[in-house]
Amino acid sequence: YEDPPTREATAEGRRWTLKVTSWNVDGLRAWVRKGGAQVSQVHSSCPQSTPVPPSSLPAPHKSTPSSPQSLQSTLSPSQFTPSPPQHLQHLPAPPVPAGDPEHDSDGRVVTAEFPSLFVVSAYVPNAGRGLVRLEPRLRFDAAFLAFLRRLDAQKPVLLCGDLNVAHAEIDLCHPRANRASPGFTPQEREGFSRLLGAGFVDSFRHLYPEARGAFTFWTYLGGARARNVGWRLDYAVLSRRLLGALCDSKIRNTVAGSDHCPITALLAV
């Protein structure tokens, strides 16, 4: 898959004013060593990271504003918009009570409120090897959808992040061999379908419905990335009423530094 040239404007000719890039950086120390922080600055990204204390980051990244340094997904307003949000909420999992052990360790959501929309950065829990955490994952999906619908009732939503699901067969390289694999079970795929049915849109598939080989995750094993044996697990999902503001939805599959690549949404808001 070759990422096409960026669409700088909407179909009506309005140029983008908001760019949000989301990137699951996996191991933060390795990501920094591989130059991920520099790429993040260029692409104005909102990384989802694993917990790392600031003191353990190599200099000069210990104190730079763009360095993610917390358990939660880091969403720094200065990285993607010229004006700060009205409200920025950092919680392990806003859809469930704070302190809930079922989700606090792996479900991370950050919500930023702006005058015209909410921007949500999320890492959705993985169902786990052998699907040992499928039921908690499905409970999270239901609670998260309810949370997004509450936001959407107030103003439109842009959700970006690793949603840990390949929605359709076109979204992974070997669908037949992975029907019982985490991220491609019927239950997880149905959960994403319910999200779309609730008034949200997969921005990439809206613009590129037939694009094949458009993946955002590749295992480190077996040279999967070089052979493009991957999955599309990372999404920019919009409230349907934001479609008129959508300029482009990008998969930056040439960017290295993690087993995921960044994705970018460009909106004229």
Residue tagged active-site, from 123, 141, 152, 202: 123
Tell the burial category of 54 from Cβ atoms under 10 Å away from its Cβ (0-12, 13-18, 19+): exposed
Judge whether residue 80 has pLDDT over 50. no
Segment 162-179 shows an average pLDDT of 98
Q: pLDDT tier at 96 (50, 70, 90 boundaries)?
A: low
Judge whether residue 106 has pLDDT over 80. no
Residue tagged active-site, from 162, 202, 234, 248: 162
110: helix, strand or coil: strand
pTM for this entry: 0.82
Q: pLDDT tier at 174 (50, 70, 90 boundaries)?
A: very high
Judge whether residue 44 has pLDDT over 60. no
Judge whether residue 239 has pLDDT over 70. yes
Q: pLDDT tier at 109 (50, 70, 90 boundaries)?
A: confident
Judge whether residue 267 has pLDDT over 50. yes
pLDDT of residue 108: 76
Residues written for the chain? 269
Residue 152 marked ligand-binding: no
Residue 202 marked ligand-binding: no
Segment 215-222 shows an average pLDDT of 97
| Nearest-10 Cα torsion for 31, 32, 35, 36 | 50
123 belongs to the catalytic site? yes
CA angle 74–10–157, rounded 5-degree value: 40
Q: 251 is written with which tokens?
A: 């998969």
CB 83 within 8 A of CB 67: no
DSSP state of 216: S
Candidate from 51-55, 109-113, 208-212, 229-233 with smallest mean pLDDT:
51-55
Judge whether residue 11 has pLDDT over 60. yes
Residue 26 marked ligand-binding: no
pLDDT of residue 242: 98
Considering the chain, what is the average pLDDT of its residues? 82
Residue tagged active-site, from 61, 103, 167, 260: 260
| 114 contacts: CB under 8 Å, gap ≥ 6 | 81, 83, 85, 86, 269
174 belongs to the catalytic site? no
Distances (CA, A) of 168 to 84, 139, 173, 191: 36, 21, 11, 12
Q: 266 is written with which tokens?
A: 């460009």
Tell the burial category of 243 from Cβ atoms under 10 Å away from its Cβ (0-12, 13-18, 19+): middle
Give the separation between CA 110 and CA 211, rounded to whole angstroms: 30
Distances (CA, A) of 156 to 22, 83, 96, 114, 240: 18, 18, 21, 10, 8
H-state helical runs in 6-165: 28-33, 36-43, 101-104, 134-152
pLDDT of residue 26: 72
162 belongs to the catalytic site? yes
Segment 19-35 shows an average pLDDT of 71
Distances (CA, A) of 34 to 65, 253, 259: 19, 16, 12
245: helix, strand or coil: helix
Residue 228 marked ligand-binding: no
